[in-house]
Amino acid sequence: MDMGTASPEGWRTGPTDLLAELYTRAQLANRELPSLVDGQKKYFYVSTEAIIDVLDLPLDKADTLRDFAEKAVNLLDKAYQQTETKLQKLLTALESNNVKVELGPRAKKTLHITPEGEKWYVSAHFRETWLISLPIYRVSADAEFPDILNVSDQDLYYLQAGWRASDESCDQNKPRMGTTQPWQALAWAAVRYGYLRIYLSALNLNMTEPTFAWTITSKSWNQQWPKREGKKLAQKIAEQHPLGMLTWYLGDGEKHPEVLRFAIQNDEKYEPKHLAQQILQVAYQTNYGILLDLLDSEKWQILKKLQPTRDPVYATLLGHTFWLSYSARAQQLLARTVLKSLEEAQRLIQALLQQGVQAKTYTWYDPKTGKNYYVVQLNGTNIARAAQLYPELRPALKELAQKHNIQPKTPLLRRLLELAENPPLPTKNLIS
């Protein structure tokens, strides 16, 4: 579909809005490209030297890591030459009305913007906003990343599961990672150490600042969780151990001041603050926590600032002590109890279900004892159902509401506050 040509002036009409935005972003990328390249080159040099020094790597591993950094820097130099030339050609073509906009042959929601006389094109995909990328061709290298962590096979397994649960994909049965963050590339390579193929595949023309798209394929590992269902399986494994939850968070987790938030396709998963303390403790028992300190990951720093809720609110239900937590940002209320065996957890879940109260269970690993425990969890709707049936829950609800100044912003919160402030007599008429 040829959408014609346009110039920088008067583009705010019809399909040429995209070209106006492309022109603005290309100008920004052209200005910021030198600092982007210099910044990432410096990052690789400084980070690898810090890793060598703090982790006290032997000479052979230090040399291997320095060679990895040097190859990454060489790729940045090559990408700079190519993207600088393409950006200048793109800007010239836009200014002289010499571009063609077409629908991609396979992706119906992707547009290709091609400067006249060129075989390459800029890709633009609309998903809430325009995602625009400038291609980089034939900028790749083979490299080796040493084993710098020396963790146990079990710890490594959970670290790998967490990455697969989030950003890691599969390339012909080999693990592959795509990222725009150099720290993420290094954090992932540390758990998929060995021989790697590194690509710089695109320059993303963003509204705020340009970014490089790094793609790394592990040649030394086979993907333990292949195909589409592999990601779901990896998520189930990752949530069994704090190290798995850590790398899942580093990939798909989102920065949040109150809870750990994970992206699961189009849904979200929330975990309480106290999990952050478990993650930190186990991470520092391995070298992975130290590595993340050296990489200066923003996500890791935010995780370290999360503190568990002080003076937790407790309630007794069916002979088990539950602790209640509330997230103001997520407007989410949860109740949890920890049991020593799966059988005990299943008996409690069945007893609740007989009263119309649904609960779920998941495994929690305690690094202090080295044992797995089983957490039974109620969400807000089922806490309200339980509070109608079991009056002993209501004083705890009132205490939690006062402690967090919970406001009736949703029908569920309003119902919970009604139960807390003016509880009715127990009834078998459960709320829907």
pLDDT in tens, 364-419: 766 556 677 888 999 888 988 888 888 778 888 888 787 777 776 677 667 777 77
Residue of 359 and 327 predicted with greater confidence: 359
Phi, psi of 191 (to 5 degrees): -105, -5
Segment 39-67 mean pLDDT: 96
Q: Which two tokens stand for residue 270?
A: 């929330």
Q: Which two tokens stand for residue 294?
A: 């050296």
Q: Which long-range contacts (CB under 8 A, 24 or more apart) does 3-10 make?
A: 3/100, 3/101, 3/102, 4/101, 5/97, 5/98, 5/99, 5/100, 6/94, 6/97, 6/99, 7/94, 7/95, 7/96, 7/97, 8/94, 8/95
Secondary structure tally for the chain: helices H, strands E: 13, 17
Residue of 333 and 290 predicted with greater confidence: 290
Round to the nearest angstrom and report the end-to-end CA distance of the chain: 50
| pLDDT tens for each residue of 125-172 | 988 889 999 999 999 999 999 999 999 999 999 999 999 999 999 999
- Token look-up 């402690």 returns 403
Given a cut of 50, whether residue 12 has pLDDT beyond it is no
- Token look-up 């086979």 returns 222
Confidence grade of residue 311 (pLDDT, cut at 50, 70, 90): low
The full DSSP string for 297-344 is: -HHHHHHHH--PPSS-EEEEETTEEEEEEEETTTTEEEEEEEES-HHH
**Average confidence score pLDDT of the chain:** 85
pTM listed for this prediction: 0.70
Confidence at residue 308, expressed as pLDDT on a 0 to 100 scale = 55
| pLDDT tens for each residue of 237-296 | 998 999 999 999 998 766 555 556 655 555 555 566 667 778 888 898 888 999 999 998
Contacts (Cβ under 8 Å, ≥6 apart) of 377: 334, 335, 336, 359, 360, 361, 362
| β pairing state of 211-218 and 174-179 | antiparallel
The full DSSP string for 355-412 is: TT---EEEEEEETTTTEEEEEEEE-HHHHHHHHHH-GGGHHHHHHHHHHHT----SHH
Confidence at residue 16, expressed as pLDDT on a 0 to 100 scale = 62
Q: Is 388 exposed, middle or buried (0-12, 13-18, 19+ CB in 10 A)?
A: buried
> What percent of the chain lies above the pLDDT cut of 70?
83
Confidence at residue 4, expressed as pLDDT on a 0 to 100 scale = 44
Confidence at residue 14, expressed as pLDDT on a 0 to 100 scale = 40
Q: Do the beta carbons of residue 273 and residue 304 sit within 8 Å? A: no
Confidence at residue 365, expressed as pLDDT on a 0 to 100 scale = 67
Cα dihedral across residues 44, 45, 46, 51: positive or negative: positive
Segment 310-319 mean pLDDT: 78
Contacts (Cβ under 8 Å, ≥6 apart) of 376: 320, 336, 337, 339, 345, 348, 349, 359, 360, 361
Residue of 67 and 317 predicted with greater confidence: 67
Q: Which DSSP helix (H) or strand (E) runs through 195?
A: strand 194-204
Given a cut of 90, whether residue 200 has pLDDT beyond it is yes
| pLDDT tens for each residue of 90-123 | 999 999 989 999 988 776 678 999 999 999 999 9
Residue of 428 and 180 predicted with greater confidence: 180
Domain boundaries, the chain: 313-421
Q: How far apart are CA 196 and CA 213, in angstroms?
A: 16
Q: How far apart are CA 66 and CA 46, in angstroms?
A: 10
DSSP letter assigned to residue 15? G
**Partners of residue 213 on adjacent β-strands:** 202
CATH topology of domain 313-421: Endonuclease I-creI (3.10.28)
Q: Which two tokens stand for residue 245?
A: 């939850």
Residue of 307 and 289 predicted with greater confidence: 289
Q: Which two tokens stand for residue 205?
A: 């023309």
Confidence at residue 410, expressed as pLDDT on a 0 to 100 scale = 72
Q: Report the SS3 class of residue 120.
A: coil
Given a cut of 50, whether residue 6 has pLDDT beyond it is no
